[in-house]
């Protein structure tokens, strides 16, 4: 890609959670049809898919990695924290549902539901499309924190991106009560592993990710010393269509299901100060007929893929995460998620190049 001009083909890989594998089937279906992105604009689980696209040479290698015993064992070891006990979690969910006051940094640390081990190592590779990822930095204030939408990108893309994003304010900043600042920041990050670690840091699932500031040697705790900064993943912009149009000539994006109104939606409102379902509906309405945006419909994903890679259930009065019990069942689940993405990729209307 010529890094002084717009890309020609941007694929938005946003969200996905524990169903992120479908992004890979989707990406490869588009490639089979002759539409190969030169830019992947990612967030959350979409960054994990992009990481695999960059690190492993083809669909076969990516699928083999996902279906490996090492990958299955990594997911199987994920455990919930004491904050997932019913006596602690139920009052917090009720508070988020009823209260409009914003959360604090301490709350995001203490109420994280999942212990996260380091992600599995993947090879470093420069092949494939350019990858950038959406995240957000939490900036301490006297009343808690404000949110700065951040684009994580390789150093060689950072200047090009900085010029482009100057014309695009953070979408959530427009709403009354929003904690999101208008200006989008570009942060050079050359390590795909770090980009993935930050991308999957969903609020209330994992503690904010601590990234050492450039002049620092890092620290082990979130503080105001300036040694490190706290980040969350890309929930701050799960339909980055305005940004994608600023970066590329043609965009393929996905119409998604809405957040559940009992747990996810109130939690995100408490972090960002915005009704995320209303925002997503507004974005899709504004861009559904845009001539440079082409939409695939994945809004039925939860119905078509009722089993995620990890399922949530209550055991001994605590929310638990459980992977398939056998490697064979895990491999079948990977196949199902990949196949769903392939179907949606083949059904997606393609831009005329």
Tens digit of each residue's pLDDT (9 = 90 or more) over 135-170: 999 999 988 899 999 999 999 999 999 999 998 999
SS3 assignment for the chain:
CCCCCCEEEEEEEECCHHHCCHHHHHHHHHHHCCCCCCEEEEECHHHHHHHHHHHCCCHHHHHHHHCCHHHHHHHHCCEECHHHEHHHHHHHHHHHHHCCCCCCHHHHHHCCCEECCCCCCCCCCCCCCEEEEEEEEEEEECCEEEEEEEEEECHHHHHHHHHHHCCCCCHHHHCCCCCECCCCEEEECCCHHHHHHHHCCCCCCCCCEEEECCCCCCCCCCCCCCCEEEEECHHHHCCCHHHHHHHEEEEEEEECCCCCCCCHHHHHHHHHCCCHHHHHHHHHHHHCCCCCEEEEECCCHHHHCCCCCCEEEEECCEEEEECCCCHHHHHHHHHHHHHHHHHHHHHCCCCCC
Burial class (CB in 10 A: 0-12, 13-18, 19+), 27: buried
Average pLDDT over residues 327-338: 99
Q: 232 φ, ψ to 5°?
A: -115, 165
pTM across the whole model: 0.94
Would you state the structure tokens that stand for residue 298, as one six-digit string? Answer: 């994945």
Higher-confidence residue of 212 and 2: namely 212
Q: Per-residue confidence at 128, pLDDT binned at 50, 70, 90?
A: confident
Mean pLDDT of the chain, nearest integer: 92
């Amino acid at each position: 890609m010529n890094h002084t001009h717009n890309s020609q083909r941007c694929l938005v890989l946003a969200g996905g959670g524990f169903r992120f594998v479908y992004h890979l089937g989707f990406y490869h279906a588009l490639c089979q049809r002759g539409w190969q992105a030169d830019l992947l604009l990612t967030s959350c689980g979409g960054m994990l898919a992009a990481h695999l696209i960059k690190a492993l040479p083809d669909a076969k290698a990516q699928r083999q990695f996902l279906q490996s015993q090492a990958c299955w064992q990594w997911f199987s070891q994920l455990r919930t924290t004491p904050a997932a006990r019913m006596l602690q979690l139920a009052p917090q969910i009720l508070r988020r549902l009823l209260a409009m006051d914003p959360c604090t940094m301490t709350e995001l640390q203490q109420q994280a539901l999942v212990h996260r081990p380091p992600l599995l190592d993947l090879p470093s590779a420069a092949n494939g499309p350019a990858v950038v990822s959406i995240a957000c930095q939490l900036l301490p204030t006297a009343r808690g924190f404000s949110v700065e939408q951040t684009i994580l990108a390789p150093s060689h893309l950072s200047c090009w991106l900085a010029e482009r994003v100057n014309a695009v304010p953070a979408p959530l900043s427009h709403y009354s009560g929003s904690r999101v600042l208008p200006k989008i920041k570009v942060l050079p990050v050359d390590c795909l592993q770090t980009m993935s670690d930050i991308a999957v840091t969903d609020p209330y699932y994992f503690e904010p990710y601590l990234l050492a500031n450039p002049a620092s040697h890092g620290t082990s705790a979130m503080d105001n010393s300036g040694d490190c900064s706290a980040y969350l993943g890309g929930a701050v912009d799960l339909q980055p269509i305005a940004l994608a149009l600023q970066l590329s000539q043609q965009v393929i994006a996905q119409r998604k299901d809405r957040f559940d109104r009992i747990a996810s939606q109130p939690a995100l409102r408490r972090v960002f100060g915005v009704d995320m379902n209303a925002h997503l509906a507004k974005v899709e309405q504004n861009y559904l007929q845009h001539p440079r945006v082409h939409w695939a419909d994945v809004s039925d994903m939860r119905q078509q893929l009722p089993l995620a890679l990890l399922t949530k259930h209550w055991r001994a009065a605590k929310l638990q995460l459980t992977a398939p019990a056998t490697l064979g069942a895990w491999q079948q689940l990977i196949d199902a998620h990949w196949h769903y993405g392939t179907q949606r990729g083949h059904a997606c209307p393609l831009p005329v190049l």
